[in-house]
Amino acid sequence: MKRIGMLTSGGDCQALNAAMRGVVKTLLNSGEQIEIIGFLDGYRGLIYSKYRMLSGSDFSGILTVGGTILGTSRTPFKTIKDPDEDGLNKVEAMKSNYHKLGLDCLVVLGGNGTHKTANLLSKEGLNVVTLPKTIDNDLWGTDMTFGFQSAVDIATDCIDKIHTTASSHGRIFIVEVMGHKVGWLTLNAGLAGGADIILIPEIPYDLNKIIDAVNLRMKRGSHFTIIAVAEGAISVEDSKLSKKERLKKMEKSKFPSVSYELADQISQATGQEVRVTVPGHTQRGGSPCPYDRVFATRLGAEAGNLILKGEYGFMVGYKSREIVKVSLEDVAGKLKALDPEAGIIKEAKMVGVSFGD
């Protein structure tokens, strides 16, 4: 008999349920007797012993269901070692609940912060296996994370729909795509949706270059422009500021985000009407796309296989089109950013996409 704890942590996304289903089905199909304990609302459930016993039937029919049947929450790693408001040592509480429940393994699904905590628990002696979840695709050690392709599909659909209204009214449209630190989602959705300008955190933009790109389109007879902007896009000037200075500047800004500031600047410089569309959390929602259903199932299956073999301290990742195991120590604390010299960016520039640089 194996007792498996499972939790989903951080922002939700598509295919969390599909990945958990893959783990459980693999364990059940092995003939191994198992008990599944689902911790509610992420690490909070493990800290405060909030959980429910699950059976195989709980994982039936959830392949296509978005969100997470366990609930989730953000438990920042930077405060994980700080006592809570009642003085509780959160790390010791997680270890204690793990042992009290007699768990053989803890399966954790999450992104960067989640993996930092998972690695900490692994170093504290818990048996941990993780799965890479984030629509940002910024997790080190894997070429792909589940949730990413579904989010690309949603953001692309938004850009597709903006095209018709932009062309009808002859406007400049900015579509703000999720991604505070990296531009994987914005880049892929922008390319798929035929955006004319793509602004990502890894390539600081020059406003004058953006204006030049808009004016060039006008000269060539294109009376509208589509700009895909990552939440974390940053100007060349702001990129030279310290993080503290940038935060202070944002606090004083009259604009809710970089997209609205850009809209104002572009409108003043070109005299054209500029509108902003923010798909926001729709990018995290809804049913996972077929790719993510297959991908998450594969990752979950391999996680189940690692548990059966007693191999712990690993994230199940994806490298060169193969499912692989990656040491948690190699994953935790590392961000997978886009290389400004990457082939996909060079190819985008070949077809005329401007990155404002």
Distances in Å between the Cα of 275 and the Cα atoms of 46, 59, 173, 259 are 44, 43, 5, 9
Return the amino acid letter for 165: T
Please tell me the distance from the alpha carbon of residue 107 to that of residue 312, in angstroms, as a whole number. Answer: 10
3-state secondary structure of 201: coil
Return the amino acid letter for 340: P
Q: Is 238 a catalytic residue?
A: no
Residue count of the chain, please give it.
357
Residue with tokens 């995290």: 284
Residue with tokens 């296509």: 64
> How far is C-alpha 318 from the geometric centre of its chain's CA atoms?
15
Please tell me the distance from the alpha carbon of residue 264 to that of residue 163, in angstroms, as a whole number. Answer: 20
Element (H, E) at 198: strand 197-199
Question: For the sheet containing 225-230, what is the strand order?
Answer: 197-199, 225-230, 172-177, 274-277
Q: Name the token pair of 36.
A: 């599944």
Which of 58, 82, 104, 136 is catalytic? The answer is: 136
Please tell me the distance from the alpha carbon of residue 170 to that of residue 128, in angstroms, as a whole number. Answer: 54
- CB-count burial class (<10 Å; 0-12, 13-18, 19+) for 162: buried
- CB-count burial class (<10 Å; 0-12, 13-18, 19+) for 190: buried
Q: Name the token pair of 247.
A: 């935060």
296: nearest Cα among 187, 179, 148: 148
- Active-site positions read 136
